[in-house]
Amino acid sequence: MENWKKNLYACWIAVFIVSVGMSQMAPMLPLYIEHLGIHDTASIARWSGIVFGSNFISLAIFSPIWGKFADKYGRKPMMLRASLWLSIIMTCMGFVDNVYQLTGLRILQGALSGFQSAVVTLVVTQTPNGQAGWALGVLFSGQVGGTLLGPLFGGFLAEVMGFRENFIVIGVMCFVAFVVSYLFVKEEKVSANPIMLSFREVWKCLPNPKVSVCLFITTLVMQLALMSIQPIITVYITQLSSDGNHIALISGAVFAASGLASIIAAPKLGKISDQIGPQKVLLAALIVAGLLFIPQAFVETSWQLGILRFLLGLATAGLLPSINSLIKRSTCDLITGRAFGYNQSAQFLGMFLGSILGGQMAGTFGIRYVFLFTGVLLLINAFWVYHTIFKEKLGNGQMK
């Protein structure tokens, strides 16, 4: 088997394990915040957004720095550093006494993490161009597959073991990902670059900065839309539930619905993007996702929400792999790590803004307005992508 395929499958396992662990947090976070002493529903929604989003602002700040070091020292060392740090910090979260300590640990988590960006960069730099869309789809299926099982697993553990023990389990899982990365990922050095380019020099290396900016902003908007919902969806399900029983388990199932759809669709959409062009898949996915957010504001039961989340997962499976594929096509190996670092900053900034905005909007206007806002935002973004990227052609046959 070729080395890039071995790395892909090893990275898939590591990403899957980390995703199973980290995705346990979102559905149980409001319940853990209540366990820490916050009992008012509006306050729980606001604190859920703050705690969930605080991690992403530090990730947004530090991602270009880790991308810079990835270009200089390699992507595997960044994977090892990030997964080991996650195992430590997640374990510590099981011992906090209040939401302030939890928020502080989430900020520290982001400062030294960046596991997903290191994995994506390693895969795209060592995969042949004609296979990039498929490889990113396979990798994304590992991430969403973990996202599928994580909420169900976390909801079960929360009811059986308790919230604190759940964080310790997440820490152990991240350490397992560290071991897998250490033993099985074999990085081939590409385009050794001992010179650390400045931001201006990196910018000059981009063949079409307008396209790059559009991709970065699209990543931000996509994550803002998705993450504005995640911290408060458990509160929404509580409102939809008639008896209030098994909220953690039901929330996990609703979270898992979109993950199940994405794991089915991601490899197929990746292969389609290799054939027809990732910009076409990106545009279609943005439109469908925007339209599917709107009816979620009007559901009356949890199962209706679950069906719409499943359909949404089919659409969102084509978003991030298409963006990553377009970034690879529009950058050279010399600055790949930096380009993905900037995109990760946009991604995490969108997660931060979405988490904070979703929580505050839900607390002020109601949760249903969050769905309407995010749907309209994605449709506006699709309009911009159509005019900026859809018909754009880059030099050297990089976009087709």
Q: What CATH number did the domain enclosing 360 receive?
A: 1.20.1250.20
Q: Look at residue 397 in the predicted model and tell me its pLDDT.
A: 39
21 is a domain residue: yes
How far, in Å, are 85, 87, 141 from residue 179 at the CA level?
A: 13, 11, 21
193 is a domain residue: no
Angle between helices 25-35 and 41-73 (to 10 degrees): 130
380 is a domain residue: yes
| Percent of the chain surpassing pLDDT 70 | 92
Average pLDDT over residues 23-33: 81
At position 349, the amino acid (one-letter code) is L
Tokens of 110: 């982001």
Domain enclosing residue 139, as ranges: 3-183+205-397
Q: Look at residue 373 in the predicted model and tell me its pLDDT.
A: 92
Listed in sequence order, the residues at least 6 apart from 267 whose beta carbon sits closer than 8 Å to its beta carbon are 134, 137, 138, 141
Q: Look at residue 241 in the predicted model and tell me its pLDDT.
A: 76
Q: Look at residue 391 in the predicted model and tell me its pLDDT.
A: 65
199 is a domain residue: no
Supply the mean pLDDT for the chain. Answer: 83
pLDDT digits (tens, 9 = 90+) for 32-69: 898 898 888 778 878 887 887 788 778 778 877 887 78
Of 110, 112, 94, the C-alpha closest to 102 is 94
Q: Measured on CA atoms in the order 391, 393, 398, 400, is the torsion positive or negative?
A: positive
Of 64, 57, 55, the C-alpha closest to 108 is 55
82 is a domain residue: yes
Taking the CA atoms of residue 262, residue 265, residue 268 and residue 270 in that order, the dihedral angle to the nearest 10 degrees is -40
200 is a domain residue: no
195 is a domain residue: no
Residue 249, exposed/middle/buried by CB under 10 A (0-12, 13-18, 19+)? middle
pLDDT digits (tens, 9 = 90+) for 125-184: 888 877 877 888 888 788 877 877 787 788 788 778 888 888 999 999 999 999 999 999
Number of domains, the chain? 1
